[in-house]
Amino acid sequence: MKELVRPSRLAPGARVAVVAPSGPVAEERLQAGLDLLRGWDLDPVVAPHVLDRHGRLPHLAGTDADRAADLQRAWCDPRVDAVLCARGGYGAQRVVDLLDWDAMRAAGPKVFVGFSDATTLHEAFAVRLGLVTLYGPVAAGIDFIKNARAQEHLRATLFAPETVRTVGAARPVRPALASGRARGVTLGGCLTLLATGHGTPHTRSGARGGLLLLEDVGEQPYAVDRALTQLLRTGWLDGVHGVLLGSWDRCGSYEALRPVLVDRLAGLGVPVVEEFGFGHCEGALTMPLGVPATLDADEGTLTLDESALR
């Protein structure tokens, strides 16, 4: 697991492009998110197809070709300093193979923010661009629009990343699922996307040497078991140094889910911290991916060796 290139932090006046590589976007939420970004003295621009709806597949924000074109055009625009996803949902797997990764690499590093379905893109940005990305709130997301903690942690990460080098422990810490400290490079995201993406182009072959972030939404305990078992059986988790568990929204009761997490992860013999506060939860933290860090499972903290952005 190698350290990746850190993009530059944002400054007042920076232009940020908002794209929709996955599910359809609610216009009123998008406008609220844009207003918030303008309040940060950023210059948000909306890609042409963000408010599109696919004619036959209502779970997609427009056609695959248009969603891919929006993302690539935004990334390759030299006037754009950061690209933010408008929402998650589903669809990034359908566009990732349509992108011209050579052209995007030539455009140079810039900030990429998204979570949930954007896990597919985080993996691709790491593999094809060698770039640190931010697993954080989406521009039209309820948490971003309405939760001050989510807003401020993302804002600090974008503008003053040295102030958030230690992440977590903002609340009482549940005893670690597996105690200890570990060092590694951060990676991960949504469990289902990691499991279904394994073995496909633009994804890593495993988590060896990494500190793995895992969360999910809308999956019952047996489905979480199935995805973790898939990663265990394929050897994808071999050599992982530590695990951070985020939120499990609408994944059944946590009392029913926790035994699955214990059963599947405790045997790795590495520190595992749960309820870390990222993902599909209120006040979600922004988690840098691709940065060397130290996990203290007992204190519930992740300390980055250096800030996520330069």
Question: Catalytic residue positions?
Answer: 116, 215, 280
Is 219 buried (19+), middle (13-18) or exposed (0-12) by CB count in 10 A? Answer: buried
Nearest to 113 by CA among 151, 169, 78, 77: 151
> Can you name the residues that pair with 83 across neighbouring β-strands?
17, 112
Name which of 297, 264, 285 is nearest 177 in CA terms. 297
- C-alpha triplet 135, 28, 40: angle, nearest 5°: 55
Given a contact cutoff of 8 angstroms between Cβ atoms, the answer to whether 51 and 27 are in contact is yes
- Letter for the amino acid at 258? R
Quote the strand ranges of 164-291, DSSP E: 166-168, 181-190, 210-217, 242-249, 272-273, 287-289
Alpha helices in the chain (DSSP H): 27-39, 64-76, 92-95, 101-106, 119-129, 142-146, 148-159, 191-197, 221-233, 254-265
> Pairing relation of β-strands 292-296 and 287-289?
unpaired
Q: Looking at residue 77, what DSSP letter applies? A: -
